[in-house]
Amino acid sequence: MRILMTGGTGLIGRRLCRELRDQGHALTVLSRRPETVAAKCGAGVQAMRSLEEWLPEQTFDAVINLAGEPIADAHWTAARKQALWDSRVTLTEALVRKISAAQHKPAVLLSGSAIGFYGNGEMPVDESAQAANDFAGQLCRVWEDVALAAQPLGVRVCLLRTGLVLAPQGGLLGRLWLPFKLGLGARLGDGRQWMSWVHLDDHVAMVLKLLQDESLSGPFNLTAPAPVTNADFTRALARAVHRPAWFFAPAALLRLILGERASLLLEGQRVLPERMHQLGFQHRYPLLEDALRDVSTR
């Protein structure tokens, strides 16, 4: 297949590019720094600086939309919220316009989303649950609605509600390995908030299944089947690095330092990959201890 990917130089995108290249697909990656694409995504991967370069006569069989500014990297000022919106909603709107203009429309659009769609809660949720009314929930809802506008064009659309991705380098563990290895690991608040995680290998395998199975569409929770509380996650990561984790970060202090985005740390979702389960998908790393053992040895 000829595939256009946004977000291809990110943690998930780089790994997905490698898998797709190994399968013989032809890749084009949209990037503001096209000169870095070959080094990050692999030799032979084409680069596109702007969607304006996608001409109506150019053919892509699939579009994988993984772009989005990191949601936790800066205070949620009005300007930052607009940047988060533009990198998700506005970009996806532009993608759908390009799909509409294409003479040969892609068969499938795999479009990013996140489990922040569900807001905060202790009860298990699957893909049938409604979007939360907070900032992250509404951002994901509109992001998904915009992607679904490709459906009337005859494009199969799958929505990738991604959990906390565990990988040997970067992502959540990229921030946590060093403090935990130094014995500075800490529970966040009361530690009762749920963390719905997924090993990078399993995430990529689920994306590939959605790409290849022409019968699938709609939202899919890309998470492991066994979410854990923050307290359990903290203990498991401390065991994985063979260090104690005696500390805790008070919720009030986190809210003072981080403002509104403290909700990303102090709230959580107990998300289950129900639709993947119904398809018979077998996670390679269904349990947190197995996932952490794997990433700690790479």
> Whole-model pTM above 0.75?
yes
Number of domains making up the chain: 1
Residue 137's closest CA among 240, 248, 244, 268?
Answer: 268
Residue 281 lies in a domain: no
Residue 266 lies in a domain: no
Q: Read off the pLDDT of residues 117-145 as tens digits, 9 standing for 90 and up.
A: 999 999 999 999 999 999 999 999 999 99
Residue 39 lies in a domain: yes
Residue 108 lies in a domain: yes
**Which has more confidence, 139 or 174?**
139
Residue 30 lies in a domain: yes
Q: Read off the pLDDT of residues 247-296 as tens digits, 9 standing for 90 and up.
A: 999 999 999 999 888 898 999 999 999 999 999 999 999 999 999 999 98
Range of the domain at 73: 2-163+198-223
Any idea what the CATH number is for the domain that residue 71 is in? 3.40.50.720
